[in-house]
């Protein structure tokens, strides 16, 4: 009983009873800073939710469906580093497959907890509701093995081993994990076990020295090095190390599309987004003519490389990944990224910074307030409205491409699902971000088509007192899909019903500031008013864009490239 003291409930000083499976689970999550858990109630998770209701320090946040709750837990994890999701067996957990697969793809740690039928019924292979009617209760866990980094069936006997193990894997790999527990076991006392303490991960010293020596030789013969920042530097918490490296080396810094927001865009050496042939020709020239590219957390995917028009000389590239480094053709395993960045910082190289000032696409131009809304006008307006500490969530599609080249103020959190790219992600993700950081201004940029997939979560935002400013780009359908399909025109499947977006708040029973804008001037006025209103209530600004094929320049270049192909 020597561990009994550590098993006492945090708010209890006299009771020495062992924790239940549910209490211990929530204790472990609380230690990780989780103060809210998302999900949807179902009869197989009632005991989990009853335990949570009486637990001090974590609140249950119920979404309108499991798909949205999964996206919300994704947005929450991007803000706080980790999150949790509770669903019921079968029907609930399968609805959450999409967001959990997205979190696996995007390196987002979510602890997915599933309440399953009573253990006795499972052992007898009874035909229970929410099952495939075949007596198999392990089929969904096996499905989840493909889209999670760890899975376990919790019991009172293994809870003290499996729960910390799952959380550790989620934190190390930055990916979701899956825990399923029978409804009748949640309130059972756990068996007190010795939890093994694993040593912290470290780099292989010799391999690290060899990699750094090769980088030293590259830099010594380099006249135009560049740092290229991508998404995994953000996911694995390397932003400060990257910033220090940029300050020390004093070389130009560009971001990849997926890595938007990973580097301080007010930094004097920042040159913008590297989008291959679809983006700024100036940035493309600086990056592709570099004789030493230090790439941090690079993901060489189709969207991220602008249909692979991005051209990096692999012989001159230092590819720093979370747990290995590649320099030219040489692979150096078992090196932690932070150790590598610190070692390169100490090489002693000092560059000349930017040789000339780089022009950003949306730097303030004179805006004609009477002009109808078009991308060329409203993106500069968005750039002007942004503030330090804002949280920006951009939807897959037109906004994801256009907002990429908006220059961000310092300490802005930028959220977009570039790799998985599930349309409808941004609205419930914004809900999760709001819950995680209620003191910060949240700006959601979504399209009319995307919003129609997950609009229910505006109801949750109103219910839980969230106050984001929501920009709805109403351009009559799926513009990004129209751009991607160059084979045909006027496809019926890219059209959508016309909704009254500003009336959604009223339909959901909430109070919101809403307005419809059609010109640059009206948009500026609406932004100014929403900046005041968002202190008290949610805001919806519907932007009417007459030309459904209007889009930012990088999308136009993408379409021209695809037409030539």
Three-state DSSP at 165 gives helix
Choose among 285, 331, 313, 318: nearest CA to 218.
318
pLDDT (0 to 100) of residue 8: 40
**Catalytic residue flag (residue 377):** no
Cα separation, 243 vs 260, in Å, equals 14
| Per annotation, catalytic residue among 33, 129, 289, 560 | 129
| Per annotation, catalytic residue among 121, 390, 448, 550 | 448
pLDDT (0 to 100) of residue 397: 87
In Å, how far are 455, 459, 516 from 500, measured between CA atoms?
Answer: 12, 15, 10
Say if residues 288 and 277 touch (Cβ distance below 8 Å). no
Cα separation, 241 vs 233, in Å, equals 9
- Other CB atoms within a 10 A radius of the CB of residue 540 amount to 24
Q: Which residues of 36-62 are buried (b: 16+ CB within 10 A; e: fewer)?
A: bbbbbbbebbebbbebbeebeebebbe
DSSP code, position 498: P
| Per annotation, catalytic residue among 27, 66, 265, 405 | 66
Query: pLDDT tens for residues 8-39?
Result: 444 444 445 789 999 999 999 999 999 999 99
**Catalytic residue flag (residue 13):** no
Query: Which range, 1-15, 351-365, 430-444, 488-502, is most confident?
Result: 430-444
Whether the model pTM is above 0.85: yes
**Catalytic residue flag (residue 66):** yes
Percent of the chain with pLDDT over 70: 97
Query: pLDDT tens for residues 162-204?
Result: 999 999 999 999 999 999 999 999 999 999 988 878 889 999 9
Three-state DSSP at 561 gives helix
Strand partners, 182: 116
Token pair of 464 as six digits: 């839980």
Mean pLDDT over 357-365 rounds to: 86
Name which residue leads in pLDDT, 408 or 551. Answer: 408
**Catalytic residue flag (residue 43):** yes
Mean pLDDT over 432-444 rounds to: 98
pLDDT (0 to 100) of residue 16: 59
| Per annotation, catalytic residue among 62, 157, 371, 481 | 481
Query: pLDDT tens for residues 503-543?
Result: 999 999 999 999 999 999 999 999 999 999 999 999 999 99
Q: Which residues of 250-260 are buried (b: 16+ CB within 10 A; e: fewer)?
A: ebbbbbbbbbb
Cα separation, 191 vs 137, in Å, equals 24
Mean pLDDT over 345-359 rounds to: 90
Name which residue leads in pLDDT, 229 or 2. Answer: 229
Cα separation, 127 vs 64, in Å, equals 28
Query: pLDDT tens for residues 262-307?
Result: 999 999 999 999 999 999 999 999 999 999 999 999 999 999 999 9
Mean pLDDT over 66-83 rounds to: 98
DSSP 512-553: EEEEEE-BHHHHHHHHHHHHHHTTTSEEEEEEE-S-TT---H
Stretch (H or E) spanning 181: strand 177-182
Confidence of residue 476 (pLDDT cuts 50, 70, 90): confident
Strand partners, 422: none
pLDDT (0 to 100) of residue 206: 97
**Catalytic residue flag (residue 130):** yes
Say if residues 511 and 491 touch (Cβ distance below 8 Å). no
Task: Kindly report the average pLDDT of the chain as a whole number.
Answer: 94
Query: pLDDT tens for residues 319-334?
Result: 999 999 999 999 999 9
Asked whether the predicted pLDDT for residue 365 surpasses 90, the reply is no
Query: pLDDT tens for residues 243-271?
Result: 999 999 999 999 999 999 999 999 999 99
Residues 6+ apart with CB under 8 A from 95: 65, 66, 67, 70, 87
pLDDT (0 to 100) of residue 511: 95
| Per annotation, catalytic residue among 39, 75, 377, 477 | 477
**Catalytic residue flag (residue 477):** yes
Choose among 68, 24, 71, 42: nearest CA to 167.
24
Percent of the chain with pLDDT over 90: 86
Stretch (H or E) spanning 469: strand 469-474
pLDDT (0 to 100) of residue 1: 36
* Among the ranges given (335-339, 340-344, 357-361, 460-464), the one the predictor scored with the smallest mean pLDDT: 357-361
Asked whether the predicted pLDDT for residue 364 surpasses 80, the reply is no
Q: Which residues of 357-367 are buried (b: 16+ CB within 10 A; e: fewer)?
A: ebebbbeeeeb
Query: pLDDT tens for residues 153-163?
Result: 999 999 999 99
Choose among 363, 470, 464, 347: nearest CA to 408.
363
| Per annotation, catalytic residue among 32, 130, 158, 510 | 130
Asked whether the predicted pLDDT for residue 2 surpasses 60, the reply is no
Cα separation, 368 vs 233, in Å, equals 39
- Pairing state between β 83-88 and 36-39: parallel
pLDDT (0 to 100) of residue 512: 98
**Catalytic residue flag (residue 448):** yes
């Amino acid at each position: 009983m020597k561990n009994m003291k550590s098993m006492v409930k945090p708010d209890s000083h006299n009771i020495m009873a062992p924790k239940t499976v549910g209490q211990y689970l929530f204790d472990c999550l609380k230690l990780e800073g989780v103060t809210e858990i998302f999900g949807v109630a179902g009869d197989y998770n009632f005991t989990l939710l009853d335990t949570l209701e009486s637990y001090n320090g974590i609140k249950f946040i119920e979404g309108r469906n499991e798909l949205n709750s999964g996206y919300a837990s994704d947005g929450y994890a991007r803000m706080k580093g980790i999150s949790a999701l509770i669903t019921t067996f079968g029907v609930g957990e399968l609805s959450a497959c999409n967001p959990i697969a997205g979190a696996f793809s995007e390196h987002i740690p979510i602890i997915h907890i599933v309440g399953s039928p009573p253990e006795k019924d499972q052992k007898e292979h009874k035909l229970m509701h929410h099952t495939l009617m075949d007596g198999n209760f392990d089929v969904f866990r096996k499905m989840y093995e493909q889209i999670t980094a760890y899975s376990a069936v919790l019991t009172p006997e293994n809870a003290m081993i499996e729960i910390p193990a799952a959380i550790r894997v989620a934190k190390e790999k930055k990916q979701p994990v899956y825990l399923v527990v029978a409804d009748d076991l949640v309130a059972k006392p756990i068996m007190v076990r010795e939890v093994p303490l694993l040593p912290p991960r470290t780099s292989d010293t010799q391999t690290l020295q060899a990699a750094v020596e090769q980088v030293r030789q590259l830099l010594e013969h380099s006249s135009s090095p560049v740092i290229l920042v991508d998404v995994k530097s953000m996911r694995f918490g390397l932003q400060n190390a990257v910033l220090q490296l940029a300050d020390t080396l004093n070389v130009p810094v560009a971001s990849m599309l997926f890595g938007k927001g990973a580097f301080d865009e007010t930094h004097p050496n920042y040159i913008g987004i590297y989008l291959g042939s679809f983006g700024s020709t100036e940035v493309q020239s600086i990056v592709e003519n570099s004789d030493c590219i230090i790439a941090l957390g690079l993901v060489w995917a189709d969207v991220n490389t602008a249909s692979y028009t991005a051209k990096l000389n692999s012989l001159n590239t230092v590819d720093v990944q979370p747990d290995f480094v590649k320099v030219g053709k040489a692979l150096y395993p078992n090196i932690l990224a932070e150790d590598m960045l610190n070692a390169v910082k100490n090489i002693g190289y000092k560059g000349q910074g930017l040789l000339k000032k780089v022009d950003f696409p949306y730097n303030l131009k004179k805006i004609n307030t009477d002009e109808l809304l078009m991308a060329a006008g409203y993106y500069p307006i968005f750039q002007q409205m942004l503030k330090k500490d804002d949280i920006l969530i951009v939807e897959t599609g037109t906004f994801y491409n256009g907002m990429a080249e908006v220059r961000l103020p310092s300490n802005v959190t930028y959220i977009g699902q570039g790799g998985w790219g599930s349309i409808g992600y941004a609205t419930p993700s914004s809900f999760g971000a709001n819950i995680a950081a209620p003191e910060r201004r949240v700006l959601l940029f979504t399209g009319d088509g995307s919003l129609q997939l997950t609009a229910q979560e505006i109801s949750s935002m109103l219910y839980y007192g969230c106050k984001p400013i929501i920009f709805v780009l109403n351009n009559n359908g799926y513009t990004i899909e129209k751009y991607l399909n160059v084979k045909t025109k006027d496809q019926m499947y890219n059209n959508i019903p016309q909704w009254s977006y500003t009336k959604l708040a009223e339909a959901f029973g909430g109070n919101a500031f809403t307005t419809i804008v059609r010109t640059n001037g009206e948009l500026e006025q609406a932004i100014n008013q929403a900046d005041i209103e968002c202190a008290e209530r949610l805001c919806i600004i519907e932007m009417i864009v007459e030309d459904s094929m209007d889009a930012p320049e990088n999308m136009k270049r993408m379409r021209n490239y695809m037409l030539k192909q």
